[in-house]
Structure 1
Amino acid sequence: MDITLNAVQGRRAQRLLELHKQYGPIVRLGPNEVSVGDWRYYRHIYGNAKTTTKDEAFYSSATLIGKPNLFEMRNKDLHAARRKLTASPYSMASMKTLEPLVAERADALVSRLISSSSVSGTADVFELCALFSMEVICKAGFAKDFTGTADDDARAVIKAMELSAFQLLFNTAMPWLKKTGLATKLPGLIGDSYRGHEYWIVKSREMVDHLMSQQSSATTKMAGNCEFLLTPILTGTDSHLGRKLTHEEIVEEAMGIMFAGSGTTSATLMYLLYSLSIPENKPMQTRLREELRTVADPEDLVTIKTLPYVNAVIKETFRLYPTIISTLPRILDESLVVDNHILPAGTVVGMQNFVHHRDPTLFLKPDAFIPERWLQTSQGTRPCNQEGILLEEMNQALTPFSIGRRNCIGQNLAWSELYIAVNKVFRRVELDLAQEMMQGVGKGGVRGEEDMEMVDRFAVVPKGRKCIVQVKEL
């Protein structure tokens, strides 16, 4: 009951961290379910498809319109075939051709920061980062261009997706709501969540139909001859099914792409901007900007991607603010020994990066934002940071995209968005946390924790649903 209540409140990961601090690397959550907190077991549980299977009780509720999607597929052969069908637009080579699109929307993000601040004195990076990521994923995914709509269409879809996250909880707790048709007729949050989901479905179908109409006119590629992310799903054959996907199966995958490719990256970028705008962290923002300016050509992304402090800031944001902090449960296909405890085959096991990203043996002062911990200070075959901790182990414990065959297919796009946005933003503006956000100091000496506490709605959102900064154009 304790875990269930915290899950409803969006604090399940925080509660599990408390339990692991109290009981150690293994915590029993139910008759047949345990939580593992030691990062060294992550690869066994998530990186080896032969030793674990996705838990049907969890993943069966992860369909968006009742069809299988890449995230929820439990059949390993079906997943492998769908992943193969989907993968080509997410390659590093394809990302190269997507960079101009990402740069264009990052420029728009900077312009919005400046214009919003010039009108009101502040800007809400929670809202603006969401617009940035939504515009990127919809243009890259489905040829949907939101420019020229005064942001209203994009904001409406973002709002619908946020509301939709709640109906996953309601479907689990009260499945009869949807089956009886009452769900969309109820007032308040319950009804709003189902109405939001229906709106999202309608808009997703419109985007799929738009791209299909372009397909019929032989326009299924962007400038640079790069496929839209959905193109292989529209045109290819699923080798496991032996056929092309139906319209509803395509819409299901499109909604999955939209969800995974927008809220996650926008949350990471928002928490990065927030962390560097805190008064105590302003020297970090200055150091980042100075490093970026060592690259004379602001469009030289090849060099920018190699900058040590840029990478350190992004990794530290991934560590402290992982955007998927929900447990992704697996069923053991064979027994596993954890901390001298034998977990038999059939046990439901799960890990949370929110927990092992705060392992104090790897990450000293785990609640503090310290990019410097990722910088190499010793040479040799096994480089260490300034505390003498192996960077190899730190990187192994950092799992923002999961690992193995079921890891995040869009991680190359996420990295590109972050590199480009960080470069564009900090070359052109200076950010300071607004006075209204200076409420409370967290465990790591963090300002604004009251509003910025992570709430788990599968992808995290800040508790206050805002992140207000002052913007100074440079």
Structure 2
Amino acid sequence: MSFFKAVQTSGRELSHETMNGKKFRLLGLAIAIFVVARFILQTIYNVFLHPIASVPGPWLAKVFGAYMAPAQAGLHRAQTLRSLHDKYGPVVRIGTNEVSISEWTAYRQIYSQKGSNKTHHFYEDTKLAGPGNLFTIINKEAHSGRRKLQNPAYSQQAVLENEDFIANRADVLVRRIMNSHAGNQSSKTVADVFLLDGLFSLEVILKCAFNRHYGDSPAGDSLTLLRAMDSSAVAIQVRAALPFITRSLGKHIPGNIGKSYRGWDVWESMTRTLVEQFQQNEAASDVRQRFMTTPMIVNEDTYLGRKMNQEELVDDMMAVAFAGSGTTSTTLTYLIYSLARDHKRQDRLRQELQTCNETLNDLKDLPFLNAVIKETMRVYPTIMSTLPRVLDEPLTVDKYVLPKGTFVGMQNYVHHRDPRLYPHPDEWWPERWLEDGSNVKDMNAALTPFSLGPYNCIGQNLARAELYLAVSKVFRKLRLTLNADMTDWDMEMEDRFNIAPKGRRCLVDVEVSN
């Protein structure tokens, strides 16, 4: 009897297991049907009923909010957007609730304080050390408080007080170029100006921020920091495109991505050391608050109602080192690259430079020098990618009305190449800025290398000073020719939000000018 009872018990257990299995399968099927149905309904809504459904764009962009993530992670987002605008027009849908705009007249509306605000999905994901910095702060009042704290250190007066030092570092740049041996040819001097321009700008910002002093030979710490920041730019873009790849996770990824995340750690560690050393050795004696770090140590942030804490200070100074070096140096590199391929224009610039003194007040009024700088900023915009915003009020562009809450953005790389304003837009042609006519006014209005409005580049006075002085020093004394080993690929722009040449080099043959 016990045998038959065991069989009956086993049968009941099998029956229960079968029933439970059916229940789980039915539950799984129900969940799958629900997910598929929801996706279909959401897709129908996004494609046909969404408030921006009429905006043209790729079909997949209407379905997937992260349509641009592969291009962003692949460092060619701006170039992809330009292709989309060429195909679809001045207003393109690039996500379920995101629009890219190439119409330059919309720039002021979008980037004014009234019309829009920073988006959470980009700026929250690009914080450098945790708390956020002047660039990533979203709250308008908080940004205003932080900006007021930092403004005096970037004023024109502060730049003029640093003019002699900037000129000194530009002289060092010239000597480094003259004494360089970046090439393989023993019979000529070959310099990698991408590296040397980066050191020039970084050492200027480290002096202005931390009172650091450097000689002619590149110091180990400046070179290490420069390479760490250059590497980190890739991780920042990957993090913005794929937020789930955190810093703690990313540094364990094999290859260049993991290397980039590890570079981010080096950048933070070195900045932390610079801040601590400045606090110990310089802050108390800097009564005039000449250095960028001092106001953030000794003064109160009016929004916070207190002084910044250590983590906030480190995050902001990481941003200062990054924005104050990689941006200006890249502009200088592409300017040298353009003139090294064009001796006629290089000679014209040299002749103009020799007509005046090497002071900022004299240099800033030279027509061709300004044209060369503007054209470099147009063709090779150091911030080439999108500054994303969310609309605080409806915006009409072309024939489309974009409702409040729409994510929008413009790209210097795209509207700087508007053929209606800039004939032959891919050609580096400085003379376009010297022509007369009403179009020049629009050309200047559409040129936005430092952005506009309350979130514009706080360091633009310093950046211009570096460019004026460095270009003057280099081309008064040197005649540069693009090295034969360079290829077009080497100088293709990589969209890491800011730009860098793909080859990470710009080799020039160097001669002393007569």
Does the TM-score normalized on the shorter chain lie above 0.5? yes
Structure 1 counterpart of 2:388: 329
In structure 1, the residue corresponding to 2:230 is in which secondary structure? helix
| CA 1:329–1:172: 2 relative to 1, 3 Å | closer
Structure 1 counterpart of 2:225: 157
In structure 2, the residue corresponding to 1:66 is in which secondary structure? coil
Q: Structure 1: which amino acid aligns with 2:291? A: F
Q: Is the Cα–Cα contact under 8 Å of residues 126 and 136 in structure 2 kept in the other structure?
A: yes
2:319, 2:282 → 1: CA distance?
Answer: 21
Q: Is the Cα–Cα contact under 8 Å of residues 329 and 351 in structure 1 kept in the other structure?
A: yes
Aligned positions of 1:368-387 closer than 5 A? 368-377=427-436, 384=437
Q: Structure 1: which amino acid aligns with 2:304? A: L
| CA 1:344–1:312: 2 relative to 1, 3 Å | same
Structure 1 counterpart of 2:470: 421
Structure 1 counterpart of 2:362: 303
2:282, 2:307 → 1: CA distance?
Answer: 15
| CA 1:17–1:174: 2 relative to 1, 3 Å | closer
Q: Structure 1: which amino acid aligns with 2:497? A: F
| CA 1:172–1:226: 2 relative to 1, 3 Å | closer
Q: Is the Cα–Cα contact under 8 Å of residues 329 and 350 in structure 1 kept in the other structure?
A: yes
Aligned positions of 1:26-425 closer than 5 A? 26-46=91-111, 48-116=112-180, 121-147=189-215, 150-172=218-240, 175=243, 177-178=245-246, 181-215=248-282, 218-220=284-286, 227-278=290-341, 281-295=342-356, 297=357, 299-377=358-436, 384=437, 389-425=438-474
1:40, 1:177 → 2: CA distance?
Answer: 37
| CA 1:143–1:170: 2 relative to 1, 3 Å | same
1:176, 1:305 → 2: CA distance?
Answer: 46
Structure 1 counterpart of 2:68: 3
Shift of 1:177: 4.8
Shift of 1:364: 0.7
Rg (Cα) greater in structure: 2
**Which stretch of structure 1 is more off in the superposition, 148-157 or 311-320?**
148-157
Structure 2 counterpart of 1:443: none
Shift of 1:202: 1.1
Structure 2 counterpart of 1:380: none
| CA 1:191–1:103: 2 relative to 1, 3 Å | same
Among 500, 503, 508, the residue aligned to 1:461:
500
1:92, 1:183 → 2: CA distance?
Answer: 40
2:306, 2:413 → 1: CA distance?
Answer: 40
Shift of 1:168: 2.2
Q: Structure 2: which amino acid aligns with 1:247? A: Q
1:33, 1:84 → 2: CA distance?
Answer: 32
Q: Is the Cα–Cα contact under 8 Å of residues 271 and 317 in structure 2 kept in the other structure?
A: yes
| CA 1:255–1:472: 2 relative to 1, 3 Å | same
Shift of 1:175: 4.8
1:301, 1:75 → 2: CA distance?
Answer: 36
Superposed CA deviations along residues 2-35 of structure 1, whole A, max 9, x for unmatched, are 6322222211111111111111110100110000
Q: Structure 2: which amino acid aligns with 1:431? A: L
Shift of 1:213: 1.5
Shift of 1:366: 0.4
2:89, 2:331 → 1: CA distance?
Answer: 28
1:364, 1:407 → 2: CA distance?
Answer: 27
Q: Structure 1: which amino acid aligns with 2:294? A: T
In structure 2, the residue corresponding to 1:399 is in which secondary structure? coil
2:368, 2:237 → 1: CA distance?
Answer: 39
Q: Is the Cα–Cα contact under 8 Å of residues 117 and 471 in structure 1 kept in the other structure?
A: no
Superposed CA deviations along residues 94-122 of structure 1, whole A, max 9, x for unmatched, are 11011111111100110011001596631
Identical amino acids, percent of aligned pairs: 47
Q: Structure 2: which amino acid aligns with 1:197? A: W
In structure 1, the residue corresponding to 2:68 is in which secondary structure? helix
Could you tell me which runs of 5 or more consecutive residues in structure 2 were left unpaired when the two chains were aligned: 1-65
Could you tell me which runs of 5 or more consecutive residues in structure 1 were left unpaired when the two chains were aligned: 378-383, 440-448
In structure 1, the residue corresponding to 2:485 is in which secondary structure? helix
TM-score (norm 1): 0.90
In structure 1, the residue corresponding to 2:99 is in which secondary structure? strand
Shift of 1:89: 1.1
Aligned residues: 444
2:240, 2:266 → 1: CA distance?
Answer: 21
Q: Is the Cα–Cα contact under 8 Å of residues 326 and 352 in structure 1 kept in the other structure?
A: yes
In structure 2, the residue corresponding to 1:264 is in which secondary structure? helix
Q: Is the Cα–Cα contact under 8 Å of residues 146 and 153 in structure 1 kept in the other structure?
A: no
2:423, 2:499 → 1: CA distance?
Answer: 24
Shift of 1:178: 3.5
| CA 1:14–1:139: 2 relative to 1, 3 Å | same
Shift of 1:270: 0.2
Shift of 1:410: 0.1
Q: Structure 2: which amino acid aligns with 1:11? A: H
Structure 2 counterpart of 1:446: none
1:190, 1:391 → 2: CA distance?
Answer: 43
2:155, 2:218 → 1: CA distance?
Answer: 32
Q: Is the Cα–Cα contact under 8 Å of residues 126 and 239 in structure 2 kept in the other structure?
A: no
Shift of 1:50: 1.5
2:245, 2:411 → 1: CA distance?
Answer: 30
Superposed CA deviations along residues 209-241 of structure 1, whole A, max 9, x for unmatched, are 12112345x3226xxx56111211111101111
2:335, 2:249 → 1: CA distance?
Answer: 41
2:152, 2:430 → 1: CA distance?
Answer: 33
Shift of 1:174: 5.3
Q: Is the Cα–Cα contact under 8 Å of residues 304 and 419 in structure 1 kept in the other structure?
A: yes
Shift of 1:261: 0.3
Q: Structure 2: which amino acid aligns with 1:39? A: W
Superposed CA deviations along residues 130-155 of structure 1, whole A, max 9, x for unmatched, are 01011001111111224376432211
Q: Is the Cα–Cα contact under 8 Å of residues 214 and 220 in structure 1 kept in the other structure?
A: no
Q: Structure 1: which amino acid aligns with 2:506? A: C
Q: Structure 2: which amino acid aligns with 1:86? A: Q
1:87, 1:132 → 2: CA distance?
Answer: 23
Q: Structure 2: which amino acid aligns with 1:131? A: L
